Structure 1
């Protein structure tokens, strides 16, 4: 089968289309004929080598989420999954014609939901939902979403706008208008240097993270759900301690800490909401699998609004 692997860490030129054996599902897995694979910020970080300390090595096949049709199942997996259209969390290996996924991380797709929309919603929607819950966001509170133009930021904007006032940081007026159409009420430049908020959801991290503590109201909560700009300074907590009397809170959030049944339930609900028109999946562009390096160049250039989807 065809797949895209990272043969050398660094720029997109380190990615290559390769031939690999067809994977065989283990007893707790399904095999999926991939129709769409999402291109995410984590893929970019792995490709650059930023996550090598987590065990990612050169030769890795990127792609943490796919949508397609189950072609076979491992032992102990319900055989009725065969032939069904699904979204799945693969963890890796999604940039390929065929991919395996744990059966417990597979969700059936509504008939009217396109596969590209599924991978624009699947991971991002869960992180946005539980990230806001992790921040103890309550109706009527104000939220700043830093890094709102990616699929995770877009989903956070839509969900938070149902209950509160949402401000966003973005790089252009055009993107700001698109975010307003999705529920944002205030659009700021990337510094986010005006206003104060009850909750900040940060997709970016990086060297500017400490300044976000200055933007929090008393009892405010900052939750980092992504780190596309890399790690913050080692002493970033000093900024929070300097505001000790404001009783601020800081946390990171990973969907890996959420039980799979809870994630499946939320994904199924969000897929159904998208079919009803209550949530919007924003697909920036569809590219064939062999153009995965071009997708990463778009990501590196900051050109993407929503999610790029690789089609197979």
Structure 2
């Protein structure tokens, strides 16, 4: 099969097309012939070498979610999965390929009327947004600030928070993006530094982190909760905890969140419910662009430029 690998850490041009052996499913596994592949911020972090210390090496195949058709099953897998169209997370990678190998236990069927592109636009990002808002304990009528709201996680978080009856502020980089986020349910539009709206929030959902994270801790109301789901701007200052202690009397809470800690059945159920909501038009899959897998370099250039609104999807074509 053909796949895209990291030929060298650094700029997008380090992504290269290679031929790899077709995967063979072991017990409990299936092979998905891909029809769409999600492009996420973590793919860019891995490609840059930012996560090399966590075991990601040159030759890695990026891509943490795919949608397509189950074309091979291993022993112990229900034969009914064969030939079904599904969405699946691929763990830490393996998605930028014509075929992906995943455990059968993670498969989520695609409902009729939901495209593979919409599935990879909503699947991984939607699960993060859903469970992060649960972790924050967001209640109807509370104020939530979504930092980095124009990205894949952010656009779903805005919609889910709106459905939950929250008052939503967002940070973004332009008036046009602000208008698009307002159409998804945002109430107040802030600039990237958090200026432009009320400065007190019950919940901050942060996809960005980086040096400015302490500023957003300061924006929490008494009993406020910050949940960090991404580090696209890098880690926060090493002493950011001092900001929490300085606000001791406000009883603030800080948490990180990864769907790696969510039991597989719960994640599957939440993703299936999100797909059903999308099919009904209750949640919108915000697709920035669909590109051939052979042009993954272009997808990563867009990620690095900060120009993506929603998510980019790749399809297994080569030009």
TM-score relative to the length of structure 1 = 0.99
In the TM superposition, residue 230 of structure 1 has moved relative to its aligned partner by 1.0
Give the equivalent residue in structure 1 for 2:5: 5
RMSD: 0.7
Residues matched between the structures, number: 312
Give the equivalent residue in structure 1 for 2:115: 114
Between the aligned partners of 1:297 and 1:63, the Cα distance in structure 2 is 16
Give the equivalent residue in structure 2 for 1:84: 84
Q: Does 1:180 align with 2:195?
A: no
Give the equivalent residue in structure 1 for 2:106: 105
Give the equivalent residue in structure 1 for 2:60: 60
Show structure 2 runs of 5+ residues with no match: none
Between the aligned partners of 2:4 and 2:107, the Cα distance in structure 1 is 22
State the 4+ residue runs in structure 1 displaced beyond 3 angstroms: none
Between the aligned partners of 1:24 and 1:48, the Cα distance in structure 2 is 30
Give the equivalent residue in structure 2 for 1:137: 138
**Secondary structure in 1 matching 2:57:** coil
Identify which of 237, 258, 263 aligns with 1:259.
263
Give the equivalent residue in structure 2 for 1:199: 203
**Secondary structure in 2 matching 1:219:** strand
TM-score relative to the length of structure 2 = 0.97
Q: Does 1:241 align with 2:245?
A: yes
Describe the superposition over 1:240-263 as per-residue Cα deviations: whole angstroms up to 9, x where unpaired.
111111111100000011100011
Give the equivalent residue in structure 2 for 1:146: 147
Q: Does 1:283 align with 2:284?
A: no
Show structure 1 runs of 5+ residues with no match: none
In the TM superposition, residue 183 of structure 1 has moved relative to its aligned partner by 0.4
Between the aligned partners of 1:118 and 1:138, the Cα distance in structure 2 is 27
Describe the superposition over 1:91-145 as per-residue Cα deviations: whole angstroms up to 9, x where unpaired.
2110000111111111000110011000000011111111001111111110000
Between the aligned partners of 1:191 and 1:297, the Cα distance in structure 2 is 24
